[in-house]
Structure 1
Amino acid sequence: MDFSDIYQRIKFEEYNISEDERAQLTEYLRSARSISRTESHAGLLVFCYSSEPTPENVELVRKFLAKHVEDYTRSAAVTGLYRVWKLGATADIDDLLSFLALSLDETRHDTSLAAIGCAFLLMHRLNDRRLSTALMRLLETLHDEVGRENDFAVGLFRYACWPAYDNWALRNGQRRTHFDTIEDALPVYWDRPKYLLEPIN
């Protein structure tokens, strides 16, 4: 099966996978080889977009959150669980918090990008202050690393500021935009409390 082709058809053609395709995909994701193959990224997205978050399905996708899973594949599991299925139980928030804490690990770049975006989404949807606090800390840490000329942190900082702004813009009817430079991101950073939840006094 060409998972990437099916994913594009789901996104742009409202394609519904057949029961035979679903059975093949599920069998593949259950196989041991799936955790180390990049095509599992698209396979996981197809699975999440075409399946309900039943306990069995969630358990299958959560297998791909493990630290030994290929990074690009793990990022799809994060996206599927928290953006597609919008899971938000305490255990899910705990997972996102642990991913945010590892954002400066260069071997987890794709996972970090997915986790940051999902964390901003769930922070607003659930009004979750633990995520807000962690995201504030992450923004400040990344900004410090940018000041130390950490090249890896530059892209991550720019990306982290974008979902901060984008989720706020969506909720407030403002114009959405893309951040291409540090100069685009810095105004969001300087006004960062605006894009997070107000602390409880």
Structure 2
Amino acid sequence: MDFSDIYQRMKFEAYEISEGERTQLTNYLKSAGSTSSPKSHAGLLVFCYSSEPARENVELVRKFLAKDVEDYTRSAAVTGLYRIWKLGTTSDIDDLLDLVALWSVESRYSTSIVAIGCAFLLMHRLQDRRLSLALRRLLETLHEELKRDSDLAVGLFVHACWSAYDNWALANGQQRTHFDTIEEALPIYWDRQKYLLEPLN
């Protein structure tokens, strides 16, 4: 199966996979080699968009969060669990916070980018102040890392600021925009509390 082709058809042609395709996809994701294959990225997205977050489906996708899974593939698992299925139990949020906390591991860059975006999305959706506090700390830590000329922190800082603005805009009916430079990100950072939740007194 060409998972990338099916994913594009689902996105742009409202294609629905057949039961036979779903069985083939599920068997592939359960196979031992799926965690080390780049094609699993599209396969996971197809699986999550075409399946309900039943316990066995969630458990199958969670196996792709493991440390030894290829980063790009792991990022699709994060997208599936938190952006497509929008899982939001206490343990789900705990796991997402753990993913965000690993931002400094260079081999997890794609996973970190996606986890940060999902954290901002769920922060607004669930009004979760734990996520808000963790994201405020993350923004401040990344800003400190910029001063140390950390190449890793630059992309994450810009993406975190953009995610902060974009998810705030979505939640508040404001116009969305895109930016990818530090100069555009800094005004969001300086006004960061606007894009987070008010702390409880």
TM-score bucket of the superposed structures, by smaller chain: over 0.9
Q: 2:75 and 2:173 mapped to 1: Cα distance?
A: 29
User: Match for residue 152 of structure 1?
Assistant: 152
1:112 aligns with 2:146: no
User: Match for residue 19 of structure 2?
Assistant: 19
Q: 1:157 and 1:121 mapped to 2: Cα distance?
A: 17
Partner deviation per Cα, 1:18-37 (whole Å, 9 max, x = no partner): 11110110000000100011
Query: What does 1:169-180 correspond to in 2, within 5 Å?
Result: 169-180=169-180
User: Match for residue 71 of structure 2?
Assistant: 71
Q: 1:25 and 1:50 mapped to 2: Cα distance?
A: 11
Q: CA deviation at 1:91?
A: 1.1
Amino acid of the residue matched to residue 4 of structure 2?
S
Q: 1:129 and 1:194 mapped to 2: Cα distance?
A: 14
User: Match for residue 48 of structure 1?
Assistant: 48
Corresponding residue SS for 1:176: coil
Q: 1:135 and 1:106 mapped to 2: Cα distance?
A: 19
Q: 1:117 and 1:180 mapped to 2: Cα distance?
A: 14
Corresponding residue SS for 2:103: coil
TM-score normalized with structure 1 length: 0.98
Partner deviation per Cα, 1:62-93 (whole Å, 9 max, x = no partner): 11111111111110000000000011011110
Corresponding residue SS for 2:98: helix
Query: What does 1:173-192 correspond to in 2, within 5 Å?
Result: 173-192=173-192
Q: What is the count of residue pairs matched by the alignment?
A: 201
User: Match for residue 62 of structure 1?
Assistant: 62
User: Match for residue 132 of structure 2?
Assistant: 132
User: Match for residue 35 of structure 1?
Assistant: 35
Report which stretch shifted further, 136-145 or 164-173.
164-173
Corresponding residue SS for 1:179: coil
Percent sequence identity over matched residues?
A: 77
Q: CA deviation at 1:178?
A: 0.8
Q: 2:87 and 2:63 mapped to 1: Cα distance?
A: 15
User: Match for residue 141 of structure 1?
Assistant: 141
Q: 1:130 and 1:67 mapped to 2: Cα distance?
A: 24
Structure 1 unaligned segments of length 5 or more: list them. none
Corresponding residue SS for 2:164: helix
Q: 1:96 and 1:151 mapped to 2: Cα distance?
A: 24
Q: CA deviation at 1:39?
A: 0.5
Amino acid of the residue matched to residue 92 of structure 1?
D
Q: CA deviation at 1:173?
A: 2.1
Q: 1:12 and 1:104 mapped to 2: Cα distance?
A: 35
Amino acid of the residue matched to residue 96 of structure 2?
L
Partner deviation per Cα, 1:122-149 (whole Å, 9 max, x = no partner): 0011111111111001001111111111
Amino acid of the residue matched to residue 31 of structure 1?
S
Structure 2 unaligned segments of length 5 or more: list them. none
User: Match for residue 87 of structure 2?
Assistant: 87
Amino acid of the residue matched to residue 116 of structure 1?
I
Q: 2:96 and 2:172 mapped to 1: Cα distance?
A: 25
Amino acid of the residue matched to residue 57 of structure 1?
N
